[in-house]
Homo-oligomer: A and B are copies of this chain.
Amino acid sequence: MRQTSWVAAVGAAVTLMGASAYAEDKPIIHDGEYNYLRAQFGEQWDAQDLEIDGRLAEIYEANGGTPPNILYVLIDDVSFGQMGNRAMNYVTGIDTPNINDFATQGMSLMRMYTEPSCTPTRTAFLTGRQPYRAGVEEVKVALVGEGLAAEEVTIAEILKKVGYNTAHVGKWHQGDIEQAYAHNQGFDWAAFPLHQQVQLSLMTREAMQANNMLGLHSSGQSNQFALDQRFKPYGLVTGIEGEAGGMAREVDLAPGEEWTQAHYVEMNERYQRQTLEQLERLAGEDAPFFMQYWPLYPLNFVYPDQSTSRNGGFMADKLEVIDDWFGEVLAKLDEVGAADNTIVVFMADNGLMYHYEGTSGLSQLIYRGGKTQHLEGGVRTDAFVRWPGVVEPGSAAGDIIHVSDLFTTFARIAGATDHIPRDRVIDGIDQTALLLEGEGNSRRDYVYNYEGLTMRSVVKQEFKMHVAAPGVPGAAAPVFNVYRDPREENPLVGYSLWSGASFQDMIKRHHKMIAKYPHLPLGKGTPYEGIENLRPESLETREVFMSWQ
């Protein structure tokens, strides 16, 4: 493992003062809409930034001269409102006491926008860029030979520049090529599955027997729908571990072994265990840490023999497990004495996987839609941030924030703003003012919602325009008021006539910036390179994949 000496690197922290995006000769390149806001509020923000710099310097000083640790817990596919909200425990029969408590200990970010799927949200957080700028869409279940390009600069890489130790545990979902692996993208140490839950939980014999999968396995009694016979899901690489600059190792399966639901459960339990181990290790180092814990749960596709929640759905049960585990993580932070100086952010990556509504036990709640969709139900998630002594306990903010903002905000708090690249658009806005000063201090009132590489809607304040279908005039695009109509079912025709032009202008500004700073290409390569113990069946699976490349 690469050991970073905080003492050697601490000099970087002196760049903190005046490190905000516009205090430098070369400002961070934000989207056009941000510059409209800056033209209105820039002076006010600059004055506020000076105060914030002073406040951060005090925080460092109180902490022996180092910035705080950061723990980012990102769970998978849960509807907005489900967590941190007592009422919802009664609505759905899923108890989340630890998350509910946690929500009272810091700030609830009540209008956090993500991307609508796992891969894009994670890319947006890691790079501070909406994923289409890096050619990133949702990474499919099987081999793709694609992934996050080495040219993208991740928050882990940036924080390492100022001396942070970095670790990643759990879901990664940034591709199956070597350059995209977590330990090659800024993490000193990483343990993650190379693919995602569709392979790990759905492509099992048990899921087939639970009628959640067809044609996977020859054991099916009525297997009319056969996948490509050459496709062997148990040839896919499962969990790997690696260290920065080193080879990865597959850790879950022996050659010839078949992946089962039990393996999936064990993998999840292992990631929880490793998270606790890593926190203990990192807290003992002589440097601040940045750690990601990205559990695979609650996604899961098989009924347990005996349900454990009142709800009983196969994802609902796992959400209760996540709640228990998150309680353990917080207890571990206390135990190792790191709780007071660690920023903890807990959130979901996007709305629920509504395709399994009913049986999964998770449902669309207040907002319509879910994973894969630009509707509020797809891109709004519960998000909570705790920073003892800094973020007001029990506070909440209705301000708009986007997951990419965490990138820029974490960099600012760590004194690493100078290391954010200045040659590409950074969507993430520095929201340190929101965390420190509370509601009303967001520096963003807009979001562009994409599905894959296609813009589907534009949010400005409480208004949201659904982009008209190709060839349809913009005046026909419906505009919704998400306060009055959270389910986006009653377009305000009158509003769209006066607001339509403004939204079209927003889209033009956005496209102008894309023309000036074109999208970068997605990383490409041969899957599974850089793994030292590839199983024979993985080699065979890769051969099948390469045969049509």
Is the CB–CB distance between B366 and A316 below 8 Å? no
- Supposing A357-B489, A483-B311, A485-B358 touch, asked if A462 and B93 sit within 8 A by C-beta, the answer is yes
Interface string of A489-501 (1 = CB under 8 A from B): 1101000000000
With beta carbons under 8 angstroms apart, the residue of B361, B398, B484 that contacts A90 is B398
Contact B87 A110 (CB under 8 A): yes
Known: A81-B91, A110-B87. A483 touches B310 (CB 8 A): yes
Tell me if A233 counts as interface (CB < 8 A to partner B): no
Residues of B within 8 A of A359 (CB): 484, 490
Q: Which B residues lie within 8 Å of A81 (CB)?
A: 87, 91, 366
Among A85, A359, A485, chain B packs the most CB atoms within 10 A around the CB of: A485
Question: B358 and A483: CB pair below 8 A?
Answer: no
Closest to A310 in B: B483
Q: How many copies of this chain sit in the oligomeric assembly?
A: 2
Interface string of A63-104 (1 = CB under 8 A from B): 000000000000000000100111111111110000000000
Does the CB pair B312–A93 fall under 8 Å? no
Do A492 and B90 touch across chains, with their CB atoms under 8 A apart? no
Report the minimal beta-carbon distance from A382 to chain B, rounded to whole angstroms. Answer: 8
Query: Judging by beta carbons under 8 Å apart, are B357 and A490 in contact?
Result: yes
The docked-state distance in angstroms from the alpha carbon of A361 to that of B363 is 23
Q: How far is the CB of A383 from chain B (nearest CB, A)?
A: 12
Asked whether any CB of chain B lies closer than 8 Å to the CB of A263, the reply is no
Number of interface residues of A (CB under 8 A): 41
| Residue in contact with A316 in the complex, picked from B108, B110, B484, CB distance below 8 Å | B484
User: Which A residues from 116 to 171 make CB contacts under 8 A with B?
Assistant: none
Residue of A92, A111, A365, A483 contacting most chain B CB atoms (<10 Å): A483
Max count, chain B CB within 10 A of own CB: residue among A91, A313, A360, A398: A91
A360 contacts across to B, CB distance below 8 A: 484
CB distance A361 to B483 under 8 Å?
A: yes
Q: Which residues of B contact A366 (CB under 8 A)?
A: 81, 88, 91, 365-366
Which residues of the partner chain B approach A201 to less than 8 Å between Cβ atoms? none
Give chain B residues whose Cβ lies under 8 Å from the Cβ of A313.
483-484
A456 within 8 A of B: no
Residues of A307-366 whose CB lies within 8 A of B: 310-313, 316, 357-361, 363-366
What are the 10 tightest A-B residue pairs by CB atom distance, in nearest-first order?
A358-B490, A90-B110, A93-B483, A90-B398, A311-B483, A361-B484, A358-B485, A313-B484, A365-B366, A85-B87
- 7 pairs, CB–CB < 8 Å, chain A vs chain B: A87-B108, A312-B484, A313-B483, A316-B483, A361-B484, A364-B487, A365-B365
Q: What residues of chain A have their CB less than 8 Å away from a CB belonging to chain B?
A: 81, 84-94, 108, 110-111, 310-313, 316, 357-361, 363-366, 396, 398, 462, 481, 483-487, 489-490, 492
